[in-house]
Chains A and B, each alone.
Chain A
């Protein structure tokens, strides 16, 4: 029985508990390769982001909200981008932007909370896991203690993929303020309850991170004066700090467009594209573009047929972006099949999101993915060594 069979038959969680971490992990992962996650909260409408503009079904499903063919930024003869994504076109042309279409998972759940929990914990639709997928990765093979933190969540209170115990996740909004306030943290005691243990651990992580994060790197890049632009600036400041981090997460809110979608989504996609372009510029400036991988993700896409309110309801599979200096640009996955919708009128998936996570774990960090993802997923071939 080889290890792969053993993993599938016994279950990865059991294996992780039985086998010493080092034996399972293989070579030391390379966390000098940075991962940046961008969550599009609320469920971005993939069909109006990466648009099948040559499809008649697309226009008949969306008489009010389809993006007119002549406004689409054409990528090839069938697929194009929403016009507000113009700032991404230079990345597409330099082949540093990959677009993965049809990302989802089996038995999709249409609830925001449950579905983002599935993405954050890399769970099956029917299983409930407490720790995020990055937490499991960092527990399996921890980033160097010299890092300021394993991961930084910018501007949000929920830790998402870094939730759960055993990892050093720091949430911060503003690095200067974080460093100034860290003086209030001084953990000294033993914990009697789980709640107290949590508080003490946060105190200890604060002290460590404050010693490693610098807030004064003189970035030349200009950032949009929006909350997302500020969050991207904070992410760039964290990257520029001498003590590294392995992962950063930034969120952009407001994609739950049940009504009057057009204006809202256009504004959000513009914010997204400008933020990503600024992030690239800052990473180039700090010499990190070649060692950064940026992924967008969301709980789900939206329903192909527009609803009565000029919006779209919760859907399933969607398109996402992968960017970075070592990304092999192009289209991945399959274009949405609008003739083959499921019983709820939703799209079938062509790529499991865990294949993308496996890509991060194996191709980007060089660590084993089976225990983290609780199964074997084939990485996508979209990063260069």
Chain B
């Protein structure tokens, strides 16, 4: 016995040492840059340097400790004004309607500019990345909701739970007035069910195509009957008289279920955690989720009771996340390109309105995803139209003599269906004049000014067109940001 213990000791010590060894090395500059560029819009030289000294676990401790539930930037004043009744538009005369539409359009623009401003300034970019992730998961569009106040409230809800509990988020978003309008639960009544929400909650929000049947949707739709909006306050109401009290059968579970019961049935399905982890993978790791890793992380996610931070920690401390083949493997979304560039180079900006316009032109009109499936993302971000518009925007941002990135683009193109440039032209031009990049200050924070160091600070991988040795300073940044690799993260 004594002998066996003595034999075991070196083994135990050995295991403990190797575990400590595996967990302990600091990230180093490359891994820190990779982590930050995927989670924080940009890897600024200062943040990269400070994260480089942390281990993977410590880096996650820091990222997750500073997340927020509220924005730091004050929202537009009308967000806290008395609610603009949904009835008003219906009863308004022709002229009043036009005025109301103008007002909504104006407020919609302010809302977009405000969110971009928050993304650009927040001390926790991961919070905004996740709020954006959920905006693209639990999609609603102001093109249908037509109430900027409700869109703002939904945005605040997404932020409040962005790194909270997925189950809570699912229950709350289902009752969120903008969502109730967007997916037609407001007109879902006993005897005349509207299936839109029931379908999308299964197909897109939880299980995914192929993991439910048409009868499941019909039954679930009945469970959501009676859900609606009180039009004068813009708040969720449950109208008992319109609710179908009958017995329902959803995914093999039977009962006199209401909507929340159905959501719990969906949360009990293992597919739900897998679907969310697959989507997180495509957002943060690579276009093709690794099935074994997805199962492993989904299990951690479920076991935690759907704590979003548990899933993110598992993802961002995995060997897979840091694997060489996934570096520079993702295409930046328009918002990542814009916010990332402003953060990376510490641009001085006035109003963010011009950039809300740019993002729409590049295919990502905030608060107005193209359909309930959200922006498809990945390679779909880049086609001939959007690639040229991206390069033109970057060219103008780094053009010293003309700090007006979007003025020209504004002259000849309208983002489809958004009506974003009908007003505020003057305001746009004024705002553009405030966009400035101080290249001297930016270069001053780099440890080394040699070409290789500058490239590594700006690009996720080696550039396609290496910079000639004699090109330095701002000119080098112009070339690097025009490089195809700058589109990658």
Instruction: Kindly report which residue of chain B lies nearest to residue A256, judged by CB atoms.
Output: B371
User: Chain B 309-336 against A: per-residue CB contact (8 Å), 1 yes, 0 no?
Assistant: 0000000000000000100111100000
A272 to B192, CA, bound (A): 31
**Does B195 sit at the interface, judged by CB under 8 A?**
yes
**Does A385 sit at the interface, judged by CB under 8 A?**
no
Which residues of chain A are within 8 angstroms of B380 by Cβ–Cβ distance? 157-159
Instruction: Kindly report which residue of chain A lies nearest to residue B463, judged by CB atoms.
Output: A189
Which residues of chain B are within 8 angstroms of A158 by Cβ–Cβ distance? 370, 376, 380
User: Which stretch in A6-14, A73-81, A180-188 binds the other chain?
Assistant: A180-188
**Does B303 sit at the interface, judged by CB under 8 A?**
no
Whether A111 and B384, one on each chain, are in contact in the complex, defined by CB atoms closer than 8 angstroms, is: no
**Does A194 sit at the interface, judged by CB under 8 A?**
yes
Whether B363 and A157, one on each chain, are in contact in the complex, defined by CB atoms closer than 8 angstroms, is: yes
| Residues of chain B from 364 to 413 with CB closer than 8 A to chain A in the complex | 370-373, 376, 378-389, 391-392, 395, 412-413
Q: Which of A114, A169, A309 touches B209 (beta carbons < 8 Å)?
A: A114
Which residues of chain A are within 8 angstroms of B387 by Cβ–Cβ distance? 184-185, 199, 202-203, 206
Which residues of chain B are within 8 angstroms of A114 by Cβ–Cβ distance? 203, 209
**Does A317 sit at the interface, judged by CB under 8 A?**
no
Expressed in whole angstroms, the minimum distance between the Cβ of B288 and any Cβ of chain A is: 9
Whether B331 and A195, one on each chain, are in contact in the complex, defined by CB atoms closer than 8 angstroms, is: yes
Instruction: Kindly report which residue of chain B lies nearest to residue A172, judged by CB atoms.
Output: B385
Whether B384 and A170, one on each chain, are in contact in the complex, defined by CB atoms closer than 8 angstroms, is: yes
Which residues of chain B are within 8 angstroms of A314 by Cβ–Cβ distance? 195
**Does A96 sit at the interface, judged by CB under 8 A?**
no
Whether A308 and B189, one on each chain, are in contact in the complex, defined by CB atoms closer than 8 angstroms, is: yes
| Residues of chain A from 94 to 130 with CB closer than 8 A to chain B in the complex | 110-114
Whether A206 and B488, one on each chain, are in contact in the complex, defined by CB atoms closer than 8 angstroms, is: no
User: Which stretch in B68-76, B110-118, B479-487 binds the other chain?
Assistant: B479-487
**Does B287 sit at the interface, judged by CB under 8 A?**
yes
A169 to B153, CA, bound (A): 40
Interface residue range, chain A? 35 or more
A157 to B359, CA, bound (A): 13
Q: Which of A187, A192, A202, A313 touches B384 (beta carbons < 8 Å)?
A: A202
A155 to B370, CA, bound (A): 13
Whether A172 and B187, one on each chain, are in contact in the complex, defined by CB atoms closer than 8 angstroms, is: no
Instruction: Kindly report which residue of chain A lies nearest to residue B330, judged by CB atoms.
Output: A195
Which residues of chain A are within 8 angstroms of B416 by Cβ–Cβ distance? 155-156, 227, 253
Which residues of chain B are within 8 angstroms of A189 by Cβ–Cβ distance? 464-465, 484
**Does A380 sit at the interface, judged by CB under 8 A?**
no
Whether B395 and A184, one on each chain, are in contact in the complex, defined by CB atoms closer than 8 angstroms, is: yes
Instruction: Kindly report which residue of chain A lies nearest to residue B202, judged by CB atoms.
Output: A111
Expressed in whole angstroms, the minimum distance between the Cβ of A145 and any Cβ of chain B is: 17
Which residues of chain B are within 8 angstroms of A174 by Cβ–Cβ distance? 412-413
Instruction: Kindly report which residue of chain A lies nearest to residue B488, judged by CB atoms.
Output: A195
Whether B187 and A259, one on each chain, are in contact in the complex, defined by CB atoms closer than 8 angstroms, is: yes
A262 to B465, CA, bound (A): 55
Expressed in whole angstroms, the minimum distance between the Cβ of A373 and any Cβ of chain B is: 22
**Does A284 sit at the interface, judged by CB under 8 A?**
no
Given contacts A177-B412, A202-B384, A113 and B487 within 8 Å (CB-CB): no
A257 to B326, CA, bound (A): 42
Given contacts A111-B209, A172-B384, A192 and B287 within 8 Å (CB-CB): no
A194 to B461, CA, bound (A): 13
Which residues of chain A are within 8 angstroms of B39 by Cβ–Cβ distance? none
Whether A193 and B329, one on each chain, are in contact in the complex, defined by CB atoms closer than 8 angstroms, is: yes
| Residues of chain B from 196 to 217 with CB closer than 8 A to chain A in the complex | 196, 199, 203, 209, 214
A153 to B416, CA, bound (A): 14
A155 to B218, CA, bound (A): 36
Q: Which of A110, A199, A205, A308 touches B484 (beta carbons < 8 Å)?
A: A199
**Does B434 sit at the interface, judged by CB under 8 A?**
no
Expressed in whole angstroms, the minimum distance between the Cβ of A315 and any Cβ of chain B is: 12
Expressed in whole angstroms, the minimum distance between the Cβ of A95 and any Cβ of chain B is: 35
Q: Which of A173, A184, A194 touches B391 (beta carbons < 8 Å)?
A: A184
**Does B260 sit at the interface, judged by CB under 8 A?**
no
**Does B417 sit at the interface, judged by CB under 8 A?**
yes
Whether A113 and B373, one on each chain, are in contact in the complex, defined by CB atoms closer than 8 angstroms, is: yes
**Does B57 sit at the interface, judged by CB under 8 A?**
no
Q: Which of B194, B381, B383, B395 touches A159 (beta carbons < 8 Å)?
A: B383
**Does B245 sit at the interface, judged by CB under 8 A?**
no
Which residues of chain B are within 8 angstroms of A200 by Cβ–Cβ distance? 464, 484
Given contacts A158-B376, A307-B187, A173 and B385 within 8 Å (CB-CB): yes
Which residues of chain A are within 8 angstroms of B461 by Cβ–Cβ distance? 192-193, 196
Which residues of chain B are within 8 angstroms of A326 by Cβ–Cβ distance? none
Which residues of chain A are within 8 angstroms of B196 by Cβ–Cβ distance? 258, 313
Whether A195 and B203, one on each chain, are in contact in the complex, defined by CB atoms closer than 8 angstroms, is: no
**Does B346 sit at the interface, judged by CB under 8 A?**
no
Which residues of chain B are within 8 angstroms of A110 by Cβ–Cβ distance? 199, 214
Whether B328 and A113, one on each chain, are in contact in the complex, defined by CB atoms closer than 8 angstroms, is: no
**Does B184 sit at the interface, judged by CB under 8 A?**
yes
A275 to B487, CA, bound (A): 36
**Does A246 sit at the interface, judged by CB under 8 A?**
no
Whether A195 and B329, one on each chain, are in contact in the complex, defined by CB atoms closer than 8 angstroms, is: yes
**Does A91 sit at the interface, judged by CB under 8 A?**
no
Whether A308 and B385, one on each chain, are in contact in the complex, defined by CB atoms closer than 8 angstroms, is: no
Task: Choose among A113, A192, A193, A203 the residue with the greatest number of B CB atoms under 10 Å from its CB.
Answer: A193
Whether A188 and B465, one on each chain, are in contact in the complex, defined by CB atoms closer than 8 angstroms, is: yes
| Residues of chain A from 303 to 319 with CB closer than 8 A to chain B in the complex | 307-309, 313-314
**Does A92 sit at the interface, judged by CB under 8 A?**
no
Given contacts A114-B209, A193-B329, A157 and B386 within 8 Å (CB-CB): yes
Whether B383 and A157, one on each chain, are in contact in the complex, defined by CB atoms closer than 8 angstroms, is: yes
Which residues of chain B are within 8 angstroms of A192 by Cβ–Cβ distance? 328, 461
Whether B484 and A203, one on each chain, are in contact in the complex, defined by CB atoms closer than 8 angstroms, is: yes
Whether B383 and A195, one on each chain, are in contact in the complex, defined by CB atoms closer than 8 angstroms, is: no
A202 to B390, CA, bound (A): 13
Task: Choose among A187, A192, A206 the residue with the greatest number of B CB atoms under 10 Å from its CB.
Answer: A192
Whether B331 and A199, one on each chain, are in contact in the complex, defined by CB atoms closer than 8 angstroms, is: yes
Given contacts A185-B388, A259-B187, A313 and B328 within 8 Å (CB-CB): no
Whether A227 and B383, one on each chain, are in contact in the complex, defined by CB atoms closer than 8 angstroms, is: no
Given contacts A184-B391, A195-B379, A199-B382, A111 and B184 within 8 Å (CB-CB): no
Interface residues of A (CB under 8 A from B): 110-114, 153, 155-159, 169-174, 176-178, 181-182, 184-185, 187-190, 192-196, 198-200, 202-203, 205-206, 209, 227, 253, 258-259, 307-309, 313-314, 344
- Given contact pairs A195-B488, A253-B416, enumerate 8 new A-B contacts (beta carbons under 8 Å): A110-B199, A111-B199, A114-B203, A170-B383, A172-B384, A184-B392, A307-B194, A308-B192
A-B contact pairs, 13 of them (CB 8 A): A111-B209, A112-B372, A112-B373, A159-B380, A172-B385, A177-B413, A182-B388, A188-B465, A196-B484, A199-B484, A203-B387, A259-B184, A344-B218
- What are the 10 A-B residue pairs with the smallest beta carbon separation, nearest first? A189-B464, A184-B391, A181-B388, A308-B192, A171-B383, A309-B187, A198-B379, A199-B484, A113-B373, A157-B363
